[in-house]
Amino acid sequence: MIVVLLWMNLCLMQSVFSQIEKEVDHHLQFWTSINVTMRITDGWGVMGDAHIKRSNFVADPGFYFLRFGAVYWLDNKFSFSGGIASLWLATDLEVGNRFAFEKRLFEQVLWRSTIRRVIFLQRIRIEQRWSEELNQDGTVNHIRFTNRIRFLFSAAIKVFNDDKLPRLVIADEILIQFGPEVIFNTFDQNRFFVGINYRLGPTWTMDFGYMNVFQQRSTGYQYDSNHTIRLFFYYTPDLRKEKDQNMPHYPINGSE
C-alpha cells in the first residue's frame, strides 16, 4: 500500500511539473571516501566511513561526511546495521561559503549473493535527517526534518579469470524522501555508477569510476546533474579467530 501511494504521488507531481519547463544544471565533482567494516564476532561488528566531496572537480568544497554504526550479521549473506551520521554541506551565501550542518540516524538491511561470476548486492537504508537551513548572513533559519528511503542494487562482474584483475561494477541507487516539508520533491535523487573494483590486499579494496547524481531540488522543476569522478576505499578487517575462508567479507557501507 505504501509503495502504491508513493507511486501515485510521484505520478501526480510528474503531471503537474510536466506543465513547467524543466531546468537542469550540470556540475563536475570529485568524491572520495574511506569505508570501514570490522567484523568482531560471527554476529557483531562495527562500521564507519568518512567522505569528502568537491565541486568544480576539486576547486570548491562540496561536503564532509562522517558515519558510525553497529552491524549484526544474520549469516554471511544478510546483515543489519544502524547508527548515527553527520554532514557539513557547503552553502554559497551573500557572506561567502558557509557549512550547513546535518545530523541523521540510519537503519539498513543488506543482502549479498554470488551467482556464477557476479556478486550482487541489494540494500535498503532508512534515514531520519535534521538539516540546517541557513539565512544569507550565515545564521540558522530553521531545522528541516525529513525521512528518506534508499534502494541500492549493485553488481560486481568478474570479467577476468585472474582474481587479481579488477571487476566491472554497475550500480544504481534511488532515494525517496517524505515529511511535512517535502512538497515538490518526493523523488530526491538517483545515483548511477559504472567503474571497476580492484582488490589492493587481503583487507583493502577500491572502487573507481563515473557516477551521475541526478537530484531534484525543492522547487520540483529544477534539477542538478552532477557528473562525479568517484574513488572509494574499503577496509574490511576480520577479528574472528575462526574465519570463513570460503566467504570473503565485503564492505556493507558505501556512498553518503
Q: Write down the pLDDT at residue 3.
A: 44
Q: Across all residues in the chain, what is the average pLDDT?
A: 89
Q: Quote the CA–CA distance of 133 and 93 in Å, as a whole number.
A: 11
The sign of the torsion formed by the CA atoms of 42, 48, 53, 58 equals negative
Q: Span 123-135, mean pLDDT?
A: 96
Q: Which 3 state secondary structure label does DSSP give 208?
A: strand
Q: Quote the CA–CA distance of 59 and 48 in Å, as a whole number.
A: 27
Q: pLDDT tens for residues 146-179? A: 999 999 999 999 999 988 899 999 999 999 999 8
Single-letter residue type at 233: F
Q: Span 24-43, mean pLDDT?
A: 96
CA distances from 61 to 47, 185, 203, 229, 231 (A): 25, 25, 30, 15, 16
* Burial category of 75 from C-beta neighbours within 10 Å (exposed 0-12, middle 13-18, buried 19 and up): exposed
- Is 2's pLDDT higher than 50? no
pTM of full prediction above 0.75? yes
Q: pLDDT tens for residues 34-51? A: 999 999 999 999 999 999
Q: Any idea where the domains of the chain sit in the sequence?
A: 2-235
Domain 2-235: state its class. mainly beta
